Amino acid sequence: MNYRTVISLGAKNVEFVLEKYYGLLEGPNRQGIKRAHISGILYGYSQSVRFIFVALSFYFAILILENSDNPDANERKRVFTAVYIMFVGAIGAGVAVSQMPSTSRAKAAARRIFSIIKEQSEIDPRA
C-alpha cells in the first residue's frame, strides 16, 4: 500500500489505517523495550565483572608486595606492570571472543559472494 492508495480511501479511512498501523506497532515496541532492558542488565553485568577483575588483580598485586621482604621501587613497578599486562590481555581476549560470531557470518557471506563470482553466466556475451 502506498501513499496515493491511502489518500484515495478518504480521511475517515486514513484514520482507520493509521490506528491499525499504530496497533500493529505496539507488540514490537513492547518487545523492543524488553530487549533493551535485558541488554542493559547484561551490559551492566559484563562491566561489573570487568571492574571486579581489575580490583582483584590489583588486590593480588598488593598481597604479593606485602609478602615480599622489602619491595623496592623496581619490584613494585614490575608487579604492577605484570598486573597491567594481564588486564590488557584479558580485555583483548574478551574483545576477540565477542567478535567471533561476526567473523563467522563474514566468512559465510564471503563464501556466498565467491560462489556467485565462480558461477557460469547463463547470458551469452557474444549474442
d(CA 13, CA 1): 13
Q: What was the pLDDT predicted at 34?
A: 92
Whole-number percent of the chain with pLDDT over 70: 93
The per-residue pLDDT for range 81-119, each reduced to its tens digit, is: 988 888 888 888 888 888 888 888 889 999 999 998 888
Q: Is 11 helix (H, G, I), strand (E, B) or coil?
A: helix
Q: What was the pLDDT predicted at 127?
A: 65
Residue with cell 498501523: 21
Q: Which three cell numbers stand for residue 7?
A: 489518500
Q: Which three cell numbers stand for residue 29?
A: 515496541
Residue with cell 588486564: 87
d(CA 5, CA 1): 6
Burial of 75 (0-12, 13-18, 19+ CB in 10 A): middle
pLDDT above 80: residue 123:
no
